[in-house]
Amino acid sequence: MTKEELQTEVETEEVLTAEDGAEGVVLREDDAFEAMLKNAMSTAPSVPEGFRCGYVAVVGRPNVGKSTLINRLIGEKVSITSKKPQTTRDRVLGVVTEEDAQYVFVDTPGFQTKVGSQLIRRMNRQVRSTLNEVDAIVLVIESGGWRPADLEVVNLLPKDAKNVILALNKTDLLKGRDKLLPLMAESMQKFPFAAIVPVSAEKGRQCDELLKEIKAFLPESVPFFDPDTYTDRSPRFLAAETIREKAFRLLGDELPYGCAVTIDRWKEEDEAAEIIATLIVERESHKPIVIGEGGAKLREISRLARTDIAAMLGKRLHLEVWVRVRRGWSDDARALKSLGYD
Ligand SMILES: Nc1nc2c(ncn2[C@@H]2O[C@H](COP(=O)(O)OP(=O)(O)OP(=O)(O)O)[C@@H](O)[C@H]2O)c(=O)[nH]1
């Protein structure tokens, strides 16, 4: 065991060194089974006649505001947002239940045009397969206008799809609204959108309108999820996402894209929980950035994550976050699988 890796142990504020953490996985089969069991055991709600339910994918180039929009629609935090592109690497489901409809949202990773690593190829494949399975697709672009990368995403849409709604996001940044009509006309030349809705995900403007347009595409069906469910992800997954989010937020532009979180130990009792997690970075040189001077950055990431995860679990929490280098992890198929990127 070489003493290379730095760990911040939050409760004692002790900075230690250690090496190999366990090979943790983010989402395990039995987590999915637990969620299924929970759903099956929940009392079936009485369903009004004509109730609609279906899957909705939100797509768009990185940074257009997909996560912000989903979070706004759902009203609960389900996927991370940050100023940096490509933070939504995992498919995350969020559920909105209204009196007469249930929307099951599928967030997709930012579409990548630079095909260099297996990770990016997998992300694109995931986008394509998601789009063929859903009832409605929301394509998000910025209301400032079309960019070449937006068109790359249009090319991913199923040919002749009649269920694509265009959301023109960030209308709060527009100086005047007179540019919107020409932009809508221009948009119809690019794809036969079923509807176009200008929105501001950040300010919550026109989000109800967007839901109304989506609802038209949901088939009549009983709800798939208990109305209290807002995500199908396990606490273990949400904890890993929380740590990743804090890292992105705290490190801002310093943090390289190659970063993932594994949960190596998860122990829960009635009133307390113990979690050991590892932040995996791609290069040796990235490690000191994440750790910070005297462990300050990592300690802060851990402290913030601990507050949120403890609130989520409703328990006292002992959280340890380690940093480990896995060189070239984003190009390694086996590593990807172990991190949940199938
Ligand atoms: N002004 C303004 N900013 C917004 C709005 N929606 C999102 N943003 C900002 O745009 C940035 C990107 O938002 P995200 O929701 O992370 O974008 P994304 O499309 O999910 O990005 P990826 O995860 O990289 O695919 C963040 O800084 C958001 O705060 C909006 O309506 N108005």
- 111: domain CATH number is 3.40.50.300
Please indicate if the annotation marks 172 as binding a ligand.
Answer: yes
For residues 280 and 13, the model is more confident at 280
Average pLDDT, stretch 120-145?
Answer: 79
- Are 20 and 59 contained in the same domain? no
Which of 17-31, 113-127, 146-160, 162-176 has the weakest average pLDDT?
17-31
DSSP annotation of 92 reads: E
Tell how strand 259-268 and strand 136-142 pair up: unpaired
Which of 78-92, 116-130, 147-161 reaches the highest mean pLDDT? 147-161
For residues 153 and 113, the model is more confident at 153
What are 226-230's contacts with CB under 8 Å, separation 24+?
Answer: 226/38, 226/39, 226/42, 226/45, 227/45, 227/97, 227/102, 228/42, 229/39, 229/95, 230/74, 230/76, 230/78, 230/94, 230/95
What was the pLDDT predicted at 99? 83
What was the pLDDT predicted at 304? 94
- Are 197 and 71 contained in the same domain? yes
What was the pLDDT predicted at 187? 97
The answer as to whether 65 is a domain residue is: yes
Closest to 145 in 3D by CA, of 165, 164, 168, 166: 168
SS3 at position 29: helix
- Are 187 and 110 contained in the same domain? yes
Q: Is 64 in the pocket of ligand 1 (CB under 6 A)?
A: yes
The answer as to whether 39 is a domain residue is: no
- Are 203 and 240 contained in the same domain? no
% of the chain beyond a pLDDT of 90: 29
How many distinct structural domains can be found in the chain? 2
> What is the rounded CA–CA span in Å between residue 309 and residue 312?
5
Q: Using 50, 70 and 90 to split pLDDT, how confident is the model at 130? A: low
- Are 71 and 184 contained in the same domain? yes
Q: Is 170 in the pocket of ligand 1 (CB under 6 A)?
A: yes
Closest CA to ligand 1's atom 21: 63
Q: Strands across the sheet with 92-97, in order?
A: 92-97, 101-107, 52-59, 136-142, 164-169, 195-198
What CATH number is associated with residue 294?
3.30.300.20
> What is the rounded CA–CA span in Å between residue 275 and residue 236?
9
Please indicate if the annotation marks 314 as binding a ligand.
Answer: no
- In contact, 65 and 45? CB cutoff 8 Å: no
SS3 at position 47: coil
Nearest ligand 1 atom to the CA of 82 is 16
* Ligand 1 geometric centre to CA of 163 (Å): 23
Nearest ligand 1 atom to the CA of 203 is 31
Helices 235-251 and 296-313 cross at an angle (nearest 10°) of: 150
User: What does the pLDDT look like over 302-340, one tens digit per residue?
Assistant: 999 999 999 888 889 999 999 988 765 555 555 555 544
> What is the rounded CA–CA span in Å between residue 257 and residue 290?
12
Average pLDDT, stretch 175-202?
Answer: 93
> What is the rounded CA–CA span in Å between residue 208 and residue 251?
34
- Are 253 and 128 contained in the same domain? no
- Are 204 and 307 contained in the same domain? no
What was the pLDDT predicted at 195? 97
Sign of CA dihedral 58, 63, 64, 66: positive
What was the pLDDT predicted at 137? 93
- In contact, 200 and 102? CB cutoff 8 Å: no
What are the Cα distances from residue 231, in Å, to 78, 185, 237?
A: 7, 36, 11
Q: What is the ipTM of this complex?
A: 0.98
The answer as to whether 40 is a domain residue is: no
* Ligand 1 geometric centre to CA of 331 (Å): 27
- In contact, 168 and 185? CB cutoff 8 Å: no
Average pLDDT, stretch 18-32?
Answer: 36
User: What does the pLDDT look like over 217-270, one tens digit per residue?
Assistant: 998 887 766 565 545 466 787 788 889 888 888 887 676 555 678 888 889 888
Beta bridge partners of 274: 267, 318
Phi-psi region of 332 (alpha: psi -120 to 50; beta: other; left: phi over 0): beta
The answer as to whether 102 is a domain residue is: yes
Q: Using 50, 70 and 90 to split pLDDT, how confident is the model at 46? A: low
Q: Using 50, 70 and 90 to split pLDDT, how confident is the model at 45? A: very low
- Enter the pTM of the model: 0.57
* Ligand 1 geometric centre to CA of 49 (Å): 37
What was the pLDDT predicted at 218? 93
- Are 192 and 64 contained in the same domain? yes
- Are 185 and 88 contained in the same domain? yes
The answer as to whether 36 is a domain residue is: no
Please indicate if the annotation marks 110 as binding a ligand.
Answer: yes
Q: Is the pLDDT of residue 149 over 60?
A: yes
- Tokens representing 271 are 């009133």
- Are 146 and 18 contained in the same domain? no
Which domain, by its residues, includes 315?
A: 5-28+234-338
Q: Using 50, 70 and 90 to split pLDDT, how confident is the model at 71? A: confident
Beta bridge partners of 332: none
